[in-house]
Structure formats: structure tokens, C-alpha cells
Structure 1
Amino acid sequence: MPTIPYGRQSVDEADLAAVSAVLTSDFLTQGPHVEHFEAALVEACGATHAVAVNSATSALHVAYLALGLGPGKRLWSTPNTFVSTTNAALLCGASVDFVDIDPQTYNLDPQALAHKLETARRRGEPGPDVVATVDFAGQPCDVASIRKLADAYGFRVVEDASHAIGASWRGEPIGCGQHADITVFSFHPVKIITTGEGGAAMTNDSVLAESMRLLRTHGVTRQVDRLEGATHGAWYYEQVALGLNYRMTDIQAALGVSQIKRLESFIARRRTIAARYDVELTDLPLKTPWQSEDSVSAYHLYPVTLDLQRLKGGRKAFFDLLRARGIGVQVHYIPVHTHPYYKRLGFQVEDYPCSERYYESCISLPIFPALTDQEQSRVIRTVQEVSFDLGVD
């Protein structure tokens, strides 16, 4: 039988037609579809501005730069994320630190953040200039509580919502900018919607939006009101900042415009799959993901944690058996601070015990809109069989 992956894009005939139309048009790179996609993101999320770029990592980088991260500045984030969340801050020249996760949500723990902030203040140590939250697996972080801390301690908030377009917090869509200064989305193929590779930064701050637009295109502008000298003519442009080529192509944007029309149906299918897992994986040596009453998850991932005392061979044996039987499970994430590069920065194993305990027992099961009921039955049946095979008598 073919392997069922943990995630996969859903591309239909409308998507193919949208991309094909661009390929025969006058614009392949920065054309009208980029603006169309940005407008669709604004409509879907309720923010004032969307800045589309070529990856979520690029979106994080321009967001951090726009907020002034650089040498001598500090970013705090969660260890339970992909390395890009903090790597982008290091690329700005800033330093990074971490706050442990809530053991229920697997997101950055606001209480742990409050304690760390107060400890730093009491010791006369500098706090963060930016805190980057992560909406892990699609469940929104408690950014409302973090916003209150931001107002009290004077830092900015970036919400890394790479997993969470289509999710909501207390009835407000993620990306609306109610609590975060900037929210970042990812459109990688395994995410909720895809542009192949791609990302976007959402904000309600026009100054931040303009800064990110400038940074995504080499720091070059043709806008007369931003030129520092007199224009030489219609061809004239100036580099007024140090930017990069982070532009999204019109090919990618056309796919995004088509995909976002199905955002609600994609999320609905993911929630249906998750609800079935919740019911049919009970009474096994594992724990299904807890969900906050304040949020509605986008269910980018369906991470379970194993009861290792009830399983012979531990997580690796469980993982290997599922993979051998065609269930393409994955692990999200190796805590960032335990990677060799971050150890060389001074971080150590056991620095953030909740994140490390979660990592030691987590496995992500397949969840994506095109997962059929029959395929999900196969996943459930195989998880049950492997649990029985490895169960401690």
C-alpha cells in the first residue's frame, strides 16, 4: 500500500487553471496577482495590510527588521518551533532567548513569560525587544495575555502563525492584528493553503507595512515621496534601505488566490478528521491534543504524545513501526535550543524541560484535507495495532 503522508497539498483544476493563465500572461514575477492575493488575505483575516513574500522565513525576517531588531536587540520565543522563528532574528544580528511551553497547548506559556520578565526586571537585566509567539499545530497562542505583558514591559509582538491561517481566538480570525504587531503566515505545501513556497506578514500598522514592502525588494523604491534626491526620470529608482529579494512571484500568488477560496472548506475537513481521531484514539497509550475553549484550531498538525511507560521500545519503536506499515508520521519539533548551533550559543539540554518532555513523546499523525475516510481508518487501525504490539503486559 502507498504511504499516507502526515501532510500534503490539495491542488484542483481551478488551481491549475489559475497558474496556467499566469504562465501565458505578461507577468511571472511581481505582477497584479500578488496584489490580488494580498487583498484576499486582508479580506480573510481582517487586517489592514498584507505583505506577500517568498517564504514564511522571509516574512519573519522583514517583520523583525521592520520592528528594529538588530545588534544589541533581543528576541524571546518558544523552543517548540521550527528553527526559522529564531534564526531570522539571529540573521538580523539580534540575540535570542526562550520561554518554555504550556504543557497543555504546547505553545509559549504566558505565565512563564511573566515570571521571566519580572525576574529580569528585578535583576536589572534587559528584557526582550520582541517576543515571537508560535501557534503550534494550528492552535492559537494566548496572544491577548502576551499583549498585556508587552504593554507593561515595552516589547513588540510577532505572532508566528505559520500553522494557523483560518484559526481564530475568541471569535477573531488569526491575522486580524488585534493583539500582535505583525502576524506571519506560511504557504508551504503541507500548510493550510499553499503557494508552493510562500509567506505573508499581516499588520494594521501602515508604517510597518511600508517598511516590509521596501525590505522585500532590495530596499529599492521608485516612490517620489521616498526618494532622497531629485528624480532623473521615469526610469529612476533609489536604494534607501538594505533589503533583500524576498518577492513572491505572480505564479505563486495566482495559486494562492485560488487556494484561499477554499480556506473554510480546508479547515472544516481538518476539524472533521481531528474530531474522529479524538474519539477513536481513546483508550490507547497516548494523549490526543488538548484544545483551548478560547480558540478554534486550524489543525495544521495532529500531534499525540505517547505514554512511554506503557510502550516497549519507546517513541522510536512506535514511529518506526508506523512508518514500516505505510503511515508517514513525523515529529514536530526538536526543541530549538538543543540543536548544535544553539548549543554553541550557550543553550543546554534541560534548559526548557516542558519543551523537552513534549519532544520526547510526540508524534504527528496524518491530517490534510484530501485524507479520505478510508485512509484515516487505515491510520487509526494501524495506530491501534502498533499500540497493541508494543504494549507493556
Structure 2
Amino acid sequence: MQNTTQPSFRHDICKEDKVMIPYGRQSISDDDVAAVSEVLRSDFLTQGPRVPEFEQAVAAYCGVAHGVAMNSATSALHVACMALDVGPGDLVWTSPISFVASANCARYCGADVDFVDIDPANSNMSAALLADKLAAAKASGRLPKVVIPVHLAGRSCDMAAIADLANEYGFSVIEDASHAIGGRYYGNPIGCCEFSDITVFSFHPVKIVTSAEGGMAMTEDPELASRMERLRSHGITRDEGEMHESPHGPWYYEQVELGYNYRMTDLQAALGLSQFGRIETFIEARHKIAARYDTLLPDLPIKLPVPVPTDQGRSGLHLYPVRVDQTRGAPPRAVVFRRLRAAGIGVQVHYIPIHIQPDFKQFGFEHGQYPAAEAYYAEALSLPMFPALTEEDQDTVVAALTLALKA
């Protein structure tokens, strides 16, 4: 089957850059096009059969009871917080190295946000620092209601340790696994919710599988699943058991709480479902690319991502982030970035620490509070990583990187 791959030029690619090899790119096949075309010719463009089919496929793959599809991972994070009754006066902790949605989801609920610094070895939330911060928070009398660990680049956080702390201190856990579908943690798929209340996936075009835009919240808890289904659709129910009065007729529904229009369309679900049939192929391709980078890059003045030990699982490898190492003679990261973009290599930085964003200054955050996150940000550079990246493309990336790293 022909594989038709088109670049996705997003808001995070500078318009003045002429990108030949982007950092991420969706892989769209003829089967994907046919799946979407079939829905376009059907009776349901939205709220039809494809959404539950997609939910069931992802849930079965993850070995979890429920999947609740939404129009974005941001929506899924927001609804997950709402389902766990996050509200004004509550506190939510997450990682400073993530996209802003990992923190904003709590702010949408009126809660306060704080951060736990990363482990420099793997750039994920440090379980040790989380334990220290929880002990201090207990002493001060204000513990988090929810902690949102972020599986950066597709590698799972130390979820067993985080779950132990959740049991000890009584907080809920939402895994932000936007980068990590297809990854595994100690033998189980990321998304099985063994160590969390809810896990959230993203299906943005640069992610491992795409539904154009979309996300999904996974959970073992039927009550959480039911509430998230209701919240994604205006807080409306057609379940007589949830209604406040007897139905007026077969048309009857009730809004029982304030929700949002966060529904995924059948068009999106059809694309996601078609893509999902190739998830293992996508993951295998990403690991092959990462392994080749590992052999081509070790002599350059950069720090390579630390692989997940085979006995601990596997990364989804959404990203291949390196760190520019000035102690080994490399120029500053900004110089390397500009040189690569000028050479047509669409590198990117993932991420600017959330706590130094201007909008977060109103809460008292400032530079220096999370030193490991800020040190990571000063050096981080994501190299092109997507299944259709050829060895020739990789050689072009490596050659350009080699020149860009010269002092």
C-alpha cells in the first residue's frame, strides 16, 4: 500500500525557516484516507460508531477498562481534573518540563499549580524530589490533590514510586502520557492505569499515532469514565439513572453539571483507528531511528538521551532530545539551533519550563526555582524523529549537526 506522507507545518515552526526535514511528521497511508472517506460518505460525521470503536481499540491495547476520546489531550487533561473534583483551593503539581497544558488543566478548574523538578538523568519528574516536597507540604499543611507526572519524549516516569507516594499522602495521579502511547513500563502498556487514576494520550499530528487533533483519557474506574463522558459533552446525560426527574419522552436529556463540547468527531476517530492498526510498526521504526542516532552521535559534544533499560520497559520515542554540551566545546544551544534551521533541519526545543512563562509570574514563580529543569532547557534540542525518516535523511541531519556544533 502506498504511503503518502505530508509535512505538517505547525505554529511551532518559525515561518521564516525553510524546513526540509521537520522534527516530526505524520505518516498518512491510503488506508487512512479511505477510512476518513468512508465516514464522509456515511450518515455520521460526528457522534457515530467510529468514536467508540477507537476507544475500545485503544483500551484493549492498553489492557484498561475504559477509554474516553476527546478533541485534544488538553481537553482530556481538563476533564480528568474535573472528574477528580479539582477546584478552587486545591493544589495540583506537575513537571516544569512539559507543554503548558499539563499545568493549565488545573488552572481551568480554579486550582493552584506548583511543580516538582526533574531528574537530570531522564528529564522526567523526580520521584525523590517529589517525596521531599510532599514531606515538606505535609508539615506545612497543604498537600496536592492531584499530581500529574509527564512522560517526556515517551519514557515513563517512575510510576511505581509515585503510586507509593500517592497511597502514603492521599493524592490522585493523572499520567500525562501525551508522548507515550505504545510505550511500556515494567511489562505493561503505558495507559493501563496500574499506578494512576487516569492516563491521557495525545493524537496530535506529530505524535505516535494521529487523529489530526485528538486525545483520550484511560481509566479503570467506571465512575470516572462515566463522568468524563458526560463532561466532554456539556455535562449532559441520557442515562435515566443519572436524571433528576423522569424522562419526558425518548428525546429527553438533562444537563446535570457544567461541561464542555470536547467531543471527538467520527472523522478524527476513523483516522485514529486506522493509524492505530500500525502502532507497532510506528514504534519499531522510531526505535530503529533512535538506535541509529545512538551509533552516529556519541563523538559529538552533545548528551544523548539515556535509553530505558530493557527490564524496565520501552519508550514510545515521540522525541529524540539531545543536550548541547558547552563543556565539551559546543557553541550555545541557540547558535546550534539557528545553524540547523538555516541548513533546513527543523529541530525544536521541548520545552520552555512552564514556571518561567510570563503568565505564571503572577503566581510568584521565577527563574532559579527548578534548577534541573532550567539546566535542561538551556541545552535541549529535539532532532527529527518520525517513522518515514530515511537513513539518508538521518545522515543529512547528522552532517548538519556536526557542522553546527563546531565552535
- Does the pair score TM above 0.5? yes
Amino acid at match of 1:17: A
Matched, 1:71 2:71: no
Long gaps (5+) in structure 2: 1-17
Q: 1:212 aligns with which of 228, 233, 247?
A: 228
Matched, 1:264 2:264: no
Matched, 1:253 2:234: no
2:24 corresponds to which residue? 7
1:315 corresponds to which residue? 333
1:167 corresponds to which residue? 183
Matched, 1:107 2:142: no
**Deviation by residue 1:243-283 (Cα, 9 ceiling, x = unmatched):** 00000000000001100000000000000000000111011
Identical columns (%): 54
Q: Counterparts of 2:294 and 2:27 in 1: how far apart (Å)?
A: 23
Contact kept? 1:167, 1:173, Cα under 8 Å: yes
Q: Counterparts of 2:64 and 2:344 in 1: how far apart (Å)?
A: 41
Matched, 1:192 2:234: no
For 1:1-393, what aligned pairs fall within 5 Å after superposition?
3-122=20-139, 124-293=140-309, 294-311=312-329, 313-387=331-405, 390-391=406-407
Contact kept? 1:105, 1:292, Cα under 8 Å: no
* RMSD between aligned residues: 1.0
Contact kept? 2:19, 2:346, Cα under 8 Å: no
2:15 corresponds to which residue? none
**4+ residue runs of structure 1 moved beyond 3 angstroms?**
309-313
Q: Counterparts of 2:294 and 2:316 in 1: how far apart (Å)?
A: 15
TM-score (structure 1 length as normaliser): 0.97
TM-score (structure 2 length as normaliser): 0.94
Amino acid at match of 1:97: D
Q: Counterparts of 1:150 and 1:143 in 2: how far apart (Å)?
A: 10
Amino acid at match of 1:226: E
Amino acid at match of 1:372: T
Amino acid at match of 2:226: E
Q: Counterparts of 1:311 and 1:247 in 2: how far apart (Å)?
A: 50
Q: Counterparts of 2:235 and 2:150 in 1: how far apart (Å)?
A: 28
Q: Offset at 1:295? A: 2.9
Q: Offset at 1:382? A: 1.3
**Deviation by residue 1:199-252 (Cα, 9 ceiling, x = unmatched):** 000000000000000000000111111111111101111100110000000000
Long gaps (5+) in structure 1: none
2:6 corresponds to which residue? none
Q: Counterparts of 1:106 and 1:220 in 2: how far apart (Å)?
A: 40
Q: Counterparts of 2:19 and 2:336 in 1: how far apart (Å)?
A: 19
